[in-house]
Structure 1
Amino acid sequence: MTRFTPVDLSLYPISDVVEALDFESYLARDRATFTERWELRRLADPSLPPVDTLLLESDPSSVVLEVGSYRETLLRGRINDRIRALTLAGALGRALDHIGVTYYRTPRREIVPAVGATPAVMEDDETYRQRLALAPESWSTAGPVGAYLFWALSASGDVLDVAAYSEDEGVCLAPRIRVVILPRDGLSGPEKTALVATVKEALSRVRLRPLGDLVTVELATDLPFNVVANLKIRQGASADIVKAQAERRIRQYCSGRLRWIGDDIEGPVWLIGRRLRQGTIAAAALGTDANVVEVSLTAPVGDVNPPPAGYTEAALADVGAPGFVPLADAVTAHLFKAPRLGTVTVTHEVVAESWS
């Protein structure tokens, strides 16, 4: 009963091939090697002084060793960057463009076309990266749900989010497919209507999808909500800074773009049919800030866009059976809604909380 999502590239184990940088270990190794070789020189020439000042910052040999270890750290870092640039999960900018065009035959989309001397605004790295992860789904035409998502997203840069539902979600009878799109902010009513037509054309029977599928395209319903959070902050912390950071984390999570709490990496938008849990919003406000002792929310009251009580595994148990009847619109309405964050209000109170 969940929306199809491609592989989560944030979990790709790049760390298995990229080594952690450790300047201090390189320096300790070089000091040990230098000391060992110097002692061998002293065995041949006892007049040489012992090495007893390597740990002093003023010692010339110590400075030379630090420079060498620093350069090694930079070199290893560059190698790490080169390795990341070869992976879909780690590539950025032109490296990601190269992977997209050569391996996936999928160029980056234009979000805003070029006008005169003003260059085009292209889709960001994370959105492009996730669309590339969907690209193999499209190689089977628009049959799998991932293929419908890929081609609908690729139809126009004005498509912010897409969901595709069928009989499996209990919203219709096969062979009907209901594709739901969320336009980018700022589009007018006529522009949204035109966008629906553009996506429908991209998924046309002649160009792409299987002959037997009956595809309809519709707009998601905005579900506006506000967040009101109260923070209990430790004495001595800057309340303004703490509240500003909490508000930023709330907006990141509720925009549907935050990959996971605390990493500050924004991914592609996922809002259609999404349930934003009140507890997770509070956790986003808390983050990893040690200055925040507790978070309480007075809005939203409960989860945003929860499934109705009737939308259960039991209700979908007969999917595919000859006598299956689609669930009532009121039971599946949450699948077609997109939570849209309005205002965020963050208040605070100072508490004398011990740091122990």
Structure 2
Amino acid sequence: MTNLPDLSALPPPEVVEEISYEDILAELAVDIKARFAAAGIDWDVDQLETDAAVIVAQAAAYRETVLRSRINYVAQQGFLYFAEKDNLEQLSAWLEVFRMEGESDDRLKERFRLATIGRSAGGPAERYRSVVLGADIDVRDVAIWREGRDPTVNIAVLSQSGNGEPTQALLDVVETALTQPDIQVVSDTFNVVSAIRKTVDVTLSVRLDPTAADSVADQVATTVQSEWQKQDLLGLDLTRAFLIQAAGIAGVTNVEVTAPAVDTVALENEAIAINSVTVTVSGRGR
């Protein structure tokens, strides 16, 4: 993923001060007592909860608490970090960034931010990244770089499908999007390739708990593949420590990695795919 600023680290906007229910109720009690006193009515704020004025004050305090929260929620929908669903689509439409079919809020937010940063016709990397992510919903991630002073812009594409390796059809769609006259800078040429450069076969030996079902071994293979696909794969090393952790599901008491023999290192612009996971059971024990 691109190194965009972390919006979650910023304090949330507050349009109206959010005061606790208890503080609002206490302020109302003081106000009611003052109004009763002005009317010649002696009223004790510490009297029974069944007092009509107390019940009305509680209802008013609750409604004000909810109203303050609602006002802030609605106002926050105008800020990118907090916007979601239809509100997010309205916000991103200002830069002609529209939700693709099946696109998550997080992916749409990233494209909106990239469109904001890279508003020029071509150039910076954020602009090209925005174009690539907008080319097809099957683009999961992309790395963009140049080598030395070569004008070639290298585009490494990671797919949402399978092990992350894009089809040639997807690479063609990306290249077509980049070479549109209003996108491509005259001096730039594109080298669109798969981000998957290394494919690894994994072999694990596991010890099962005496009470574990035999099917746990099959679950280990599925879980390892699934957990790896959840990661931000670009530039991520496939470590033996990760494999041990991912394979340590319920019913497994020990994991040994037979292959790969050492950690598999990824460059910043490449991703590693796990081709197969073979699991053997070394025995049972705690």
What one-letter code is carried by the residue in structure 2 that aligns with 1:51? D
Whether the aligned pair in 2 keeps the contact of 1:272 and 1:339 (CA below 8 Å) is: no
Q: Counterpart of 2:269 in 1: which secondary structure?
A: helix
What one-letter code is carried by the residue in structure 1 that aligns with 2:135? A
Whether the aligned pair in 2 keeps the contact of 1:137 and 1:147 (CA below 8 Å) is: yes
Whether the aligned pair in 2 keeps the contact of 1:226 and 1:341 (CA below 8 Å) is: no
What one-letter code is carried by the residue in structure 2 that aligns with 1:91? A
Q: Counterpart of 2:24 in 1: which secondary structure?
A: helix
Pick one of 183, 188, 201 that aligns with 1:208: 183
**Percent of aligned pairs with the same amino acid:** 25
- Relative to structure 1, the CA distance from residue 15 to residue 275 in structure 2 (aligned partners, 3 Å threshold; closer, same or farther) is farther
Q: Distance in 2 between matches of 1:132 and 1:305?
A: 34
Pick one of 124, 137, 140 that aligns with 1:157: 137
What one-letter code is carried by the residue in structure 2 that aligns with 1:86? G
What one-letter code is carried by the residue in structure 2 that aligns with 1:83? A
Q: Counterpart of 1:181 in 2: which secondary structure?
A: strand
Q: Distance in 2 between matches of 1:29 and 1:209?
A: 62
Whether the aligned pair in 2 keeps the contact of 1:21 and 1:73 (CA below 8 Å) is: yes
**Residue by residue, what CA displacement relative to the aligned partner does 1:275-303 show, whole Å, maximum 9, x if unpaired?**
68999999xxxxxxxxxxxxxx97899x9
Q: Counterpart of 2:167 in 1: which secondary structure?
A: helix
Whether the aligned pair in 1 keeps the contact of 2:152 and 2:189 (CA below 8 Å) is: yes
What one-letter code is carried by the residue in structure 1 that aligns with 2:63? R
- Relative to structure 1, the CA distance from residue 277 to residue 201 in structure 2 (aligned partners, 3 Å threshold; closer, same or farther) is same
Q: Distance in 2 between matches of 1:299 and 1:50?
A: 75
**Residue by residue, what CA displacement relative to the aligned partner does 1:158-188 show, whole Å, maximum 9, x if unpaired?**
1111111223xxxx65212211111112499
Whether the aligned pair in 1 keeps the contact of 2:233 and 2:272 (CA below 8 Å) is: yes
**Residue by residue, what CA displacement relative to the aligned partner does 1:252-310 show, whole Å, maximum 9, x if unpaired?**
89724xxxxxxxxxxxxx4312468999999xxxxxxxxxxxxxx97899x97656xxx
Whether the aligned pair in 2 keeps the contact of 1:21 and 1:77 (CA below 8 Å) is: no
Question: Following superposition of structure 1 onto structure 2, how do residues 136-155 of structure 1 map, counting pairs within 5 Å?
Answer: 136-155=116-135
Instruction: Flag structure 2 segments of 5+ consecutive residues without an equivalent.
Output: 205-222, 245-253, 278-286
Q: Distance in 2 between matches of 1:305 and 1:52?
A: 70
What one-letter code is carried by the residue in structure 1 that aligns with 2:269? L
Match of 2:56 in 1: 64
What one-letter code is carried by the residue in structure 1 that aligns with 2:145? Y
What one-letter code is carried by the residue in structure 1 that aligns with 2:81? A
Q: Counterpart of 1:335 in 2: which secondary structure?
A: coil
Match of 2:66 in 1: 74
Instruction: Flag structure 1 segments of 5+ consecutive residues without an equivalent.
Output: 111-121, 228-247, 257-269, 283-296, 308-331, 344-356
The alpha carbon displacement at 1:15 in A equals 3.4
Match of 2:213 in 1: none
- Relative to structure 1, the CA distance from residue 29 to residue 194 in structure 2 (aligned partners, 3 Å threshold; closer, same or farther) is same
- Report how many residues are paired: 248
Q: Counterpart of 1:161 in 2: which secondary structure?
A: strand
Q: Distance in 2 between matches of 1:22 and 1:129?
A: 32
Pick one of 96, 102, 105 that aligns with 1:105: 96
Whether the aligned pair in 2 keeps the contact of 1:165 and 1:177 (CA below 8 Å) is: yes
Q: Distance in 2 between matches of 1:83 and 1:280?
A: 42
- Relative to structure 1, the CA distance from residue 186 to residue 217 in structure 2 (aligned partners, 3 Å threshold; closer, same or farther) is same
Q: Counterpart of 2:65 in 1: which secondary structure?
A: helix
Residue 336 of structure 1 pairs with residue 267 of structure 2: no
Q: Distance in 2 between matches of 1:19 and 1:342?
A: 55
What one-letter code is carried by the residue in structure 1 that aligns with 2:96? R
Q: Distance in 2 between matches of 1:165 and 1:104?
A: 25
The alpha carbon displacement at 1:129 in A equals 1.0
Residue 25 of structure 1 pairs with residue 23 of structure 2: yes
The alpha carbon displacement at 1:194 in A equals 0.2
Residue 83 of structure 1 pairs with residue 100 of structure 2: no
Q: Distance in 2 between matches of 1:197 and 1:18?
A: 50
Q: Distance in 2 between matches of 1:340 and 1:32?
A: 67
Residue 181 of structure 1 pairs with residue 157 of structure 2: yes
Match of 1:135 in 2: 115
The alpha carbon displacement at 1:17 in A equals 4.2
Q: Counterpart of 2:49 in 1: which secondary structure?
A: coil
- Relative to structure 1, the CA distance from residue 178 to residue 298 in structure 2 (aligned partners, 3 Å threshold; closer, same or farther) is farther
- Relative to structure 1, the CA distance from residue 226 to residue 90 in structure 2 (aligned partners, 3 Å threshold; closer, same or farther) is farther
Whether the aligned pair in 2 keeps the contact of 1:53 and 1:59 (CA below 8 Å) is: no
- Relative to structure 1, the CA distance from residue 67 to residue 105 in structure 2 (aligned partners, 3 Å threshold; closer, same or farther) is same
Q: Distance in 2 between matches of 1:180 and 1:155?
A: 14
Q: Distance in 2 between matches of 1:24 and 1:8?
A: 34
Q: Distance in 2 between matches of 1:67 and 1:279?
A: 56
Whether the aligned pair in 1 keeps the contact of 2:140 and 2:159 (CA below 8 Å) is: yes
